Structure 1
Amino acid sequence: MSKRKTSFAILAAVLVLASVLLWAWRDRIGLFANTEPPSQPEAVSTGEPKEHYDVIVAGTDPEGVAAALSAARSGLSVLLTDGKDRDRLGGLITLGWLNSFDLNFAPTEDGKPSADRELLNKGVFQEWYDQLEGTSIDVVHAASALNRMVSAEPDIDLLMRTRSMKPFMDGTEIAGLEIVDESGVTRTIGANAVIDATQDGDIAALAGVPYTTGREDLGNPEARMAVTLVFKLSGVTDEIWQSFGKREDTGIDKMSAWGFPDAKLYESSNPDKVALRGLNIGRQNDDTLLINAMHLFGIDPLDRQSLEEGMEIGKKEAPRIVDYLKRNFKELSQLEYAGTAPELYVRESRHIRGEYRLTIADVMENRDFWDAIAYGSYDVDIQRLNRQDTGAIMLSPQQYGVPFRSLVPLEVDRLLVVGRSASFDSLPHGSARVVPLGMATGQAAGAAAKLAIERDMSFRELSRSKEAVAELRSRLAEAGVDLKYRSFPKPSYMNHKAYKGLLAAVSMNMTIGGYDNDRWDLDGKASPASFRNMMLRLFLMYPDQFGENPAKAVQTGSGSRVVSLEQASGALCFMAGAEYDKGRATGELLRRGWLKEETVQAVTDQEALTNGEAFMLLRDVLEFHAGVVYE
C-alpha cells in the first residue's frame, strides 16, 4: 500500500473514531442534538467459536444481551447466539419493532404517581436506556447501542445468523448447545451453564423442562394474548407530531404518542383473525412512525406455519389499516404506509415451571422475597384473546419481587431461564413479561452463573442457600442493580373485609381492578351473569371437583338482578355434585364443613349477595372441598 493510501486509511479511521466518541458524548458537550447516531444495526459474528465456554446465552433479545454482559463482566467466557437467522441484536425491540418500553417505576412514599419517579432495577437496562431517545426509541439506534455494549466486552463471542440450536444433555444436566451455523455446519459447543433467553423458552422445552402454555393454568390452554405486527408510516413532521397532542383523546411526549381510541372501529377484512385497537405510536429518527395497534388472533407462537400465517395476514391487512387511518384521522392523512416489522410481536407462549412460580397474589400483595433479584411494578396488562374479548388491566402493583427461584427450572440442571418465559403464572406474566424486567432477570442470571461456577454449586443448590443468594444480591448491587424495596402505603383493597375472597377471585381471573385498583366493586351486588361466570371459572380450572354444567348452576327468578345466599349455595352444591334439599343448600355446605359459619354471618343481606361476599363463599368451598387456597 502506498504512503498516500495509508495516510487516507489512518485519517478515515480517526474520523470514524471521532464521530463515535462525539456521539457518545453528545449530551455532555452539546453537539449533534438533532443528529441520528451512526447506523450500524447489523451484528457480525466475532469469528470461529470455541469448543467450550463458561456460559452460553441462547437468545439475542435484550434479555440475552443483559445476561451475556453480566456474565462476561464477572470474568466468564461467554458465547451469545441465536437460532433464528437474525442479523442484529435486540430481537423483539429491533426486529419486532416494539419500540416503546413498558417501564417499571419505583413507588413513591405516598403511593401516588410522580413525574420524576425513578426506574426500578437500573443495572444493564438503565445503561442501555440512557443511550436512547426516551419512552420510545429508534430501533436502528437501539441495535447500534447493543452492538457497542457487546463489542466492548472481550470475553463475549458473538455467533449470528445461526439456523437452529438445541441442547445436548448429560443425564438431567444441560451440557451445551448443538448449533447449525449460517453455512449449514453443525457445531457442538460445551458449557458449564446455559442461560435460555429465547422469547419462548425454546432451549428449556427441548431439554425437558415442564411448562404450561397460554392460559393453561387457568383452564384455557389454547387461549393466549393476541400477537401484533407493528407497521410503519413515513412523512412525519414536527407539525404533524404536535397535532397528535392537540386531540382531546390523545397524548404525546417527545418520542411517544398514545390515543386515537376510535381506531378500534376499523372494520377488519377478517374479524376472527385481525382487529385494531387504539394506537401506540413511537417516533423514529428518520421521520417515520411505528404503530403498535394490530391484534392478530389464534396464532400459535410455537408453530412455524401458524407464525407464517400470522405474518401473511398482518402484511395484507396493514395497508388497509393505514388507508382507514388516513381517511378517518386528519392528523394522519399526510402520512404514507412504509411497511411492517420483520418479526411478529408475540406476547405469550410458554411459562416454564421453576423452583418458584410467581403468582398474581404475589403481585397483588406487592410481596418482597428473600431471594428477589429484580422488581416489577408495571400494570398487569392482559391483551385481547379474541375478537369478543376486550382485554383487561388486572391491577396496578406498587413493587413486587421476582425470586431467583423463578429462573431455576424444574428437572433440568445447569440451566436458567430469563425473560417472559420464566416461571410466572399467566396472570402475573402480564406484568413480568416486559423487557426492562426481563433484562434485570438476565443480568441476575449472568451473575449467578459466575457464583455457581466459583462455588461448584448447581443453580438449584444456589437457589436454596440463603447465604449464597445474599452474596448474589450483593454482587448485583455492586454491578449497579437497585435491589431496594421501597416504603409505600398498603393498597386500600387489602383492608376490605372480603379481601381474602378477592385474592381468590383475582387468582382465578374472575374480576379486575383496572389502572387505579378501584374496579373490584366488592360492595356492589353480585349479578346472576357474574356468578355464572364464577361457576365457569371453577369448572374450567377444577373440573374434577366442580364438574357440572356451569350454565345450569345459577337458578334465579325471571328478570332477577341479584343472587341470594341460598341460590349461590345451591349453585356451589350443584357444581360440586353434592345433594341437598331445596332451600337448605347453605345448611348443607355448613354441615359438610365446606363453608365457615363466620362467612355466612358476615353476609349483610342474604337475599342479595355482594360481589365480595360471593368471593368469600367461593374461597371457603375451594379450600374445604377442593383443597385449594389462594393466599
Structure 2
Amino acid sequence: MRIREGYDVVVIGGGTAGAMAGIAAARSGARTLLVEKFGNLGGVLTLGMSLKGVNDGEGVKALGGIGAELLDRARAAGGATTIVSAHPRHGSIMGQDPESMKFNLIDMVRASGLQLLLHSYLVDAIVSGTRLQAIRVANKAGLEIIPAKCFVDCTGDADLAALAGAGFVMGRESDAQMQPVSAIFRVGGVNLEKTWAYLEEHPEDFETPDGYVGDEYTVAKFRAKPGVGVAGFRSLIQKARAAGDYTIPREDLGFNPMAGRPEVTINITRVHGIDGTNPDDLTRAEIESQLQIIEGVRFLRKYLPGFEDCYVVSSPFQVGIRETRRIQGSYVLTKEDCRTGANFPDQVARGAYPLDVHDVSPSVHGTANVPGGGTDLSQIPRSYGIPARCLVALGVDNLLVAGRALSATHEAAGSARGQPVCMATGHAAGTMAALAATLNTVPSELDIKHVQYVLRQQHAVLERG
C-alpha cells in the first residue's frame, strides 16, 4: 500500500468549502494536498445557482478573502453579475456562470501551489489516541495512506470526523430527520421576457415573502436587476397537478437567470427521507431526482410561458444534500445567533446566507395535495460571526471541519450551508490548519488573535463593516 508523505495539511473534499480551504492552507505556507472524489473542484458552486448572502440584508459585505477573489475574477471574465443588495427575500443575490467559476477556481489552485489528488475516495482514518495520524483513500491505483500534521474535513457529511471518532449529530435535534435533497439543473432556450410579462399579469404566481410590505418585491424591480431569481408559479403547479402532469412534492419552483443569456437554473426537484451517508438512500435519491428533472422539463415546456422550447443544458454531478452530520464543537451556532447578527471574540468568518430550512418530511407544513412541499426562508439583515470553536471537532485534536458540517443547530445550519458561508469557513479552516501545522500545535491551542490577524491580512471579513 502506497504511503503518500510530505504534507503538513490534507483537505478532504474539494467542494465549495474544500477548494477555499486548500488554497488558503497552501497560500499560508503549508505543504497542502486536497483529495477530491470527482474530477472538478467547486461542488455545489458549479451548479449555476445564484449566490445569496455575499452581502447581508443591509448591503454590508459578508464575504471577503479567497471567496471574494474568486467572484471578482469570474465577474471580470463575464461570469458573474454585480451583487444586488437589500433583496427582500435573500438579503443579497448575484448571478453566476458555473463554468466560469469552475475554471477560475482551478487557475487559482495552480497559482497557490496546492497539490490535488482527484478521483480518490476517503475510506478510513488512522487514529492514535485523540490524534489523527493519516487517512486511507481508494483510487485507480488501489489504496493509499496519506499522513499529515493537520486535516480539514470538507466532505459536507463530516465523513472524516465520523471515521476519526469525533462527536457529531445527525439532522434535526428532536428526531434526526434531515432536510430533503434536490437536483439543481439548468435549461436553455428560455424567453425570459415572456416569463416576466406573464408574472406581471399574474401576480399570484410571483411569490412574496409572508408579512413583507414594500415596493421592492415587484416584477419590475426584479426584472431590472441582473441575476435576480424568482420563486413562485404555484397556480401553474396546482393546475398541472390537477391534470396529472405534476407529481413532484414541492409547492413552487425557483429559477435563477444569468443576465444576457437564455439560460436559467431550475430548483424544483425534491426527494424526502434521504440519509446522504447511506449509499442505498443516495442511489434512490439520484434515480428519483433525475426522473423529476424529466418531469420538471415537461412541466416547464407545457405550463410556463417563455419555457416552451427549453432544453436541458446541464444536470448536476450528484444530487444536492442539504443536511447530514454536523460536528459537535465547543460552541454550537444557533438560529438566534444568525437572526441577531451575533459577534464572538473568536470569530473567524461571517455568514449572511438566508435561514433556509426545507420541510423535513412529507407530513410537515405542507398542503393536503402537496405534503412537505414548503420552505422556511428568511433573510439575514446583519451578518453574524462564526466562532473558531464551531470549526474544531471535539475528540480529534488535529481536525478542523468547514462547510455545512460545522457545529450548528439544525436551523442555523440552514444558513451556514450557503455557498458564500462555506467559502468563508473553508478559508478560515484552511488558514487555521496551516498555522497549526507550521507552528507544531493543534487548532484549539492557536492564539486566536494571531489567527484573526492572518485572516485579515488575507482580506477575510471578520467584523461587520
Q: TM-score, normalised by structure 1?
A: 0.62
Q: Residue 382 of structure 1 corresponds to which residue in structure 2? A: 357
Post-superposition shift, 1:170?
2.0
SS where residue 143 of structure 1 aligns?
helix
Q: RCO greater where, 1 or 2, for CA within 8 Å and sep 6 or more?
A: 2
Name which of 124, 134, 140 aligns with 2:66: 124
Post-superposition shift, 1:118?
4.1
User: Would you say the 8 A contact 1:98–1:292 is kept in 2?
Assistant: no
Name which of 275, 282, 288 aligns with 2:250: 275
Instruction: Report whether the alignment pairs 1:191 with 2:148.
Output: yes
Q: Residue 116 of structure 2 corresponds to which residue in structure 1? A: 158
Instruction: Report whether the alignment pairs 1:431 with 2:415.
Output: yes
Post-superposition shift, 1:238?
6.7
Instruction: Report whether the alignment pairs 1:403 with 2:387.
Output: yes
Does the C-alpha gap of structure 1 residues 450 and 231 become closer, same or farther in structure 2, counting only changes over 3 Å? closer
Letter in 2 for 1:74: S
SS where residue 267 of structure 1 aligns?
helix
Name which of 160, 177, 188 aligns with 1:234: 188
Post-superposition shift, 1:325?
2.2
1:48-86 alpha-carbon deviations (Å, 9 max, x no partner): 99413000010000211111111111111100112x3x1
Deviates more, 1:241-250 or 1:409-418: 241-250
Instruction: Report whether the alignment pairs 1:297 with 2:236.
Output: no
Name which of 44, 66, 72 aligns with 1:92: 44
What percent of counterpart residues are identical?
Answer: 26
Does the C-alpha gap of structure 1 residues 284 and 309 become closer, same or farther in structure 2, counting only changes over 3 Å? farther
1:21-62 alpha-carbon deviations (Å, 9 max, x no partner): xxxxxxxxxxxxxxxxxxxxxxxxxxx994130000100002
Q: TM-score, normalised by structure 2?
A: 0.83
Q: Residue 220 of structure 1 corresponds to which residue in structure 2? A: 175
Q: Residue 180 of structure 1 corresponds to which residue in structure 2? A: 138
User: Would you say the 8 A contact 1:57–1:194 is kept in 2?
Assistant: yes
Does the C-alpha gap of structure 1 residues 393 and 231 become closer, same or farther in structure 2, counting only changes over 3 Å? closer
SS where residue 343 of structure 2 aligns?
coil
Name which of 215, 229, 239 aligns with 1:257: 229
Post-superposition shift, 1:366?
2.4
Post-superposition shift, 1:340?
2.7
Q: Residue 457 of structure 2 corresponds to which residue in structure 1? A: 478
Post-superposition shift, 1:264?
4.3
Letter in 2 for 1:140: E
Structure 2 residue runs of 5 or longer lacking an equivalent are 75-79, 82-93, 207-218, 363-370
Cα distance between partner residues in 1 of 2:190 and 2:424:
34
Cα distance between partner residues in 1 of 2:121 and 2:434:
29
User: Would you say the 8 A contact 1:87–1:160 is kept in 2?
Assistant: yes
Instruction: Report whether the alignment pairs 1:52 with 2:6.
Output: yes
Cα distance between partner residues in 2 of 1:284 and 1:185:
45
User: Would you say the 8 A contact 1:420–1:429 is kept in 2?
Assistant: yes
Instruction: Report whether the alignment pairs 1:341 with 2:316.
Output: yes
> How many residue pairs get matched?
417
Letter in 1 for 2:345: W
Cα distance between partner residues in 2 of 1:158 and 1:382:
34
Does the C-alpha gap of structure 1 residues 121 and 275 become closer, same or farther in structure 2, counting only changes over 3 Å? closer
Q: Residue 157 of structure 2 corresponds to which residue in structure 1? A: 200
Cα distance between partner residues in 2 of 1:395 and 1:138:
23
Does the C-alpha gap of structure 1 residues 369 and 157 become closer, same or farther in structure 2, counting only changes over 3 Å? same
Cα distance between partner residues in 2 of 1:403 and 1:420:
14
SS where residue 151 of structure 2 aligns?
strand
Post-superposition shift, 1:382?
1.0
User: Would you say the 8 A contact 1:382–1:391 is kept in 2?
Assistant: yes
Question: Which has the larger strand fraction?
Answer: 2
Does the C-alpha gap of structure 1 residues 399 and 231 become closer, same or farther in structure 2, counting only changes over 3 Å? closer
Post-superposition shift, 1:355?
1.7
- Aligned 1:311-330 pairs, distance under 5 A: 311-330=286-305
Letter in 2 for 1:354: G
User: Would you say the 8 A contact 1:68–1:446 is kept in 2?
Assistant: yes
What's the RMSD between the two structures over aligned residues? 2.6
Cα distance between partner residues in 2 of 1:244 and 1:175:
59
Q: Residue 27 of structure 2 corresponds to which residue in structure 1? A: 73
Instruction: Report whether the alignment pairs 1:288 with 2:243.
Output: no
Cα distance between partner residues in 1 of 2:138 and 2:312:
37
Does the C-alpha gap of structure 1 residues 163 and 448 become closer, same or farther in structure 2, counting only changes over 3 Å? closer
Name which of 126, 129, 146 aligns with 1:171: 129
Post-superposition shift, 1:317?
2.2
SS where residue 174 of structure 1 aligns?
strand
Post-superposition shift, 1:225?
1.2
Post-superposition shift, 1:427?
1.1
Does the C-alpha gap of structure 1 residues 49 and 326 become closer, same or farther in structure 2, counting only changes over 3 Å? farther
1:487-542 alpha-carbon deviations (Å, 9 max, x no partner): xxxxxxxxxxxxxxxxxxxxxxxxxxxxxxxxxxxxxxxxxxxxxxxxxxxxxxxx
Following TM superposition, the consecutive aligned residue runs of length 4 or more in structure 1 with deviations greater than 6 angstroms are 268-273
Cα distance between partner residues in 2 of 1:276 and 1:386:
14
Letter in 2 for 1:136: G
Post-superposition shift, 1:296?
1.5
Q: Residue 430 of structure 2 corresponds to which residue in structure 1? A: 446
Post-superposition shift, 1:284?
8.7
Does the C-alpha gap of structure 1 residues 446 and 232 become closer, same or farther in structure 2, counting only changes over 3 Å? closer
Letter in 2 for 1:71: A
Does the C-alpha gap of structure 1 residues 356 and 264 become closer, same or farther in structure 2, counting only changes over 3 Å? farther
1:117-163 alpha-carbon deviations (Å, 9 max, x no partner): 24213111100111221212221111101110001122x11111114
Post-superposition shift, 1:232?
2.8
Larger Rg: 1
Structure 1 residue runs of 5 or longer lacking an equivalent are 1-47, 108-112, 463-467, 487-631
Does the C-alpha gap of structure 1 residues 457 and 294 become closer, same or farther in structure 2, counting only changes over 3 Å? same
Does the C-alpha gap of structure 1 residues 285 and 413 become closer, same or farther in structure 2, counting only changes over 3 Å? farther
Deviates more, 1:358-367 or 1:204-213: 358-367
SS where residue 393 of structure 1 aligns?
strand
